[in-house]
Amino acid sequence: MERKPNNEEWKQRIKELEKEVVQLKLEKNELTSLKERLKILFEFAPDGYFLCDLKGRFIDGNKAAERLSGYKREELIGKSFLKVKLLASIEIKKADRVLAKIARGHPAGPEEFSLNRKDGSHVELEIRAFPVKIKGKTTVLAIARDITERKKADKALRESDQKFRSLFEHMAAASCFDEIVYEDGKPVDYRIIDVNPSYERIIGISKSAAAGALASKLYGTGEAPFLDVYSRVTETGQAASFEAYFPPSEKHLHIMVSCPGRGQFCTVFSDITERKRAERLLQESEKRYRTLFESSRDAIILINRKGKILQGNPAAIKMFGYVDNEEFTSQNVKDLSPDYQPDGTLSLVKAEQMNKIAQEKGSHFFEWKHKRKEGKEFFATVLLTKMELDNEIILQATVRDITENKLAEEALKKREKELEIRTNSLEKANTALGVLLRKREEDKKRLENGVLFNMRRKVEPYIEKLKNSMLDERQKVYVSILEKNLNDITSTFPQALSSKYLKLTPTELEVARLIKQGRSTKEIAMALEISSRTAEVHRENIRKKFNLKHRKDNLKTHLSSL
């Protein structure tokens, strides 16, 4: 017979049961707390959580899922993504493959999808899917991460790479990528990784020969050129720019070395050989100018637009009586001439006009009265020339003292006066001389008028056309005509033609001249800017007026015989 527990045993048993109840309550509370935490994690996860069955019908979703899709949770639950049209038709097959994989118990992804949001916009998603058992049924937990910005960044990066590659391939300067070669931790050489097409043109080495080659062997120098610069740029990450003569290409180059990262550096070579040559020529020109400036017997003065003397050569300092260049350059140009007046008189206005003419035309030559330091005046010729010095427009005045010339001129005038007095006593001779002089003057005017007439009729029209035309076939004709007409100025043909054949119109007269020169109908049309048909009509009219219409006489021969 089974023994019944006594009171103490019952009490002990009750206490144990009470402890078990308390433990169960604690476990229940902990489980509830865990569920709450899981629910919070699910609800407020940064990625979108979509829970659906194997047919694509939505069971649940978190706030991130609502934000990504634009739909409220209640709008999606019970509906298929096909019905809501969250996915484009081209992505349905991809979604079916994911559901089939989940149905077999395997996770899927990551896969990229373009999600159609409720408002019609699109969002790019990266989705990972996992099979989840809920009440014995397999459901799908899809975790969606917004990768729209990442996709934009990837696209921007690809576009940037394409732009860089396009720039690299098409830039006029030679460019290459290199990497340092180390031995025992020390840089000993560098290897060329890639070069652009301009590299072959400027450096003279093809891409196939350069790619992968060591600089010391590629350039045939036995050591890597400028290795110290490349090493410093690689270590510091700071770009370096310098100019150097590059023996392998026999050119002066401007070299820019930068370190874009990834253990590489980029070198850009710009050919500055012509610039260096120009700089050398400029230095030589400046040296020659300085020699001429210092040794010239004429005074050479550099003046700015305000009339301030910038510099004078030794001849200028001596001519104007100053001690040295410092004293001379402390003056203004008006201090060198008594004609400069502070009240703006005619002389000052005239001086400003001389400066203006030189500025506009580039140079101007004239005579001017000058003043030495002690006040003594003298005449000199002045050649004002516009120059550019340190990006500033200045005037160079070349001054030549003509005092002796003026004295000789005055002596000559005095001598001429004496001769005039003696000539007055020879009345008859003077009268005869007057008649001869008048005749000479009339002949001179007649000659001038004749020359002027010919020049205006025969030269100026073609010069004007030449000015307004490009050098093409027509202009070559003009030049040829111009050359012929200059020779005709001394001939008698124009006078004969004008006097004997005034019945010709001005245009026919011009056509007759060109026919006499042997010009074809096409050349005449081009010269007079008329059609070939019109030129032919003028030919026929001339033949008619010369009674040659029904004769076989050559028109050019007939005109030349006149």
Is 394 found in the same domain as 311? yes
Q: Do residues 554 and 456 both lie within one domain?
A: yes
CATH (domain of 387)? 3.30.450.20
Instruction: Indicate if the pLDDT at residue 11 is higher than 60.
Output: yes
Section 353-364 average pLDDT: 71
Per the domain annotation, does 2 fall within a domain? no
Q: pLDDT-derived band of residue 502, with 50, 70 and 90 as boundaries?
A: very low
Range with the lowest mean pLDDT among 173-177, 214-218, 258-262, 538-542?
258-262
pLDDT at residue 261 greater than cutoff 80: no
Same domain (yes/no): 484, 503: yes
Residues 444 and 501 in one domain: no
Q: Are 455 and 376 in the same domain?
A: no
- What's the pLDDT at 226? 87
What burial class does residue 493 get, using C-beta atoms within 10 Å of its C-beta: 0-12 exposed, 13-18 middle, 19+ buried? Answer: middle
Task: Report pLDDT for 334.
Answer: 78
Query: Confidence band (pLDDT; 50, 70, 90) for 555?
Result: confident
| Tokens found for residue 544 | 């008619």
CA distances from 404 to 318, 339, 378 (A): 17, 21, 10
Q: How confident is the model at residue 357 (pLDDT cuts 50, 70, 90)?
A: confident
> Could you tell me the two tokens for 160?
């940037």
> Between helices 427-454 and 403-424, what is the axis angle to 10°?
120
Q: How far apart are CA 225 and CA 55, in angstroms?
A: 69
Query: Is residue 435 situated within a structural domain?
Result: yes
One domain, residues 301 and 269: no
Three state DSSP letters for 489-524: CCCCHHHHHHHHCCCCCHHHHHHHHHHHCCCCHHHH
pTM of the model as a whole:
0.40
Tokens of 145: 């991460």
14: in domain: no
The Cα–Cα gap between 554 and 542 comes to 12
Tell me: the pLDDT tens digits for 235-253? Answer: 888 888 888 888 888 889 9
Whether residue 348 is found in the same domain as residue 436 = no
Q: In terms of Cα–Cα distance, which of 515, 447, 518, 459 is closest to 486?
A: 459
Q: Which residue has the higher pLDDT, 342 or 162?
A: 162
Q: Which residues of 34-64 are buried (b: 16+ CB within 10 A; e: fewer)?
A: eeeeeeeebeeeebbbbbbeeebbbbbbbeb
Alpha-carbon gap, residue 489 to 510, rounded angstroms: 15
In the prediction, which pLDDT does 457 show?
A: 61
Distance CA 107, CA 91 (A): 19
- CA-nearest of 276, 237, 275 to 257 is 237
- Paired residues of 370 in beta bridges: 378
DSSP 308: B
Tell me, yes or no, whether 353 and 422 share the same domain: no
Asked whether residue 242 is assigned to any structural domain, the reply reads yes
Q: What is the DSSP letter of 335?
A: G
> Out of 204-213, 271-280, 458-467, which region has the weakest mean confidence (pLDDT)?
458-467
pLDDT band at 485 (very low <50, low <70, confident <90, very high): confident
Confidence at 468, pLDDT banded by 50, 70, 90 = low
The tens digit of pLDDT for each residue in 59-84 reads 888 888 888 888 888 888 888 877 88
Considering only residues 464 and 105, tell me which one the structure prediction assigns the higher pLDDT: 105
Instruction: Please indicate, yes or no, if residue 28 is contained in any of the structural domains.
Output: no
Residue 323's domain comprises 296-400
Interval 153-212: pLDDT, tens:
888 877 777 776 777 787 888 888 888 888 888 888 999 989 998 888 888 888 888 888
Q: Residue 499 — pLDDT band, cuts 50, 70, 90?
A: very low
Does some domain include residue 157? no
R_g of the chain, CA atoms, integer Å: 51
Domain count, the chain: 5
Residue 144 sits in the same domain as residue 54:
yes
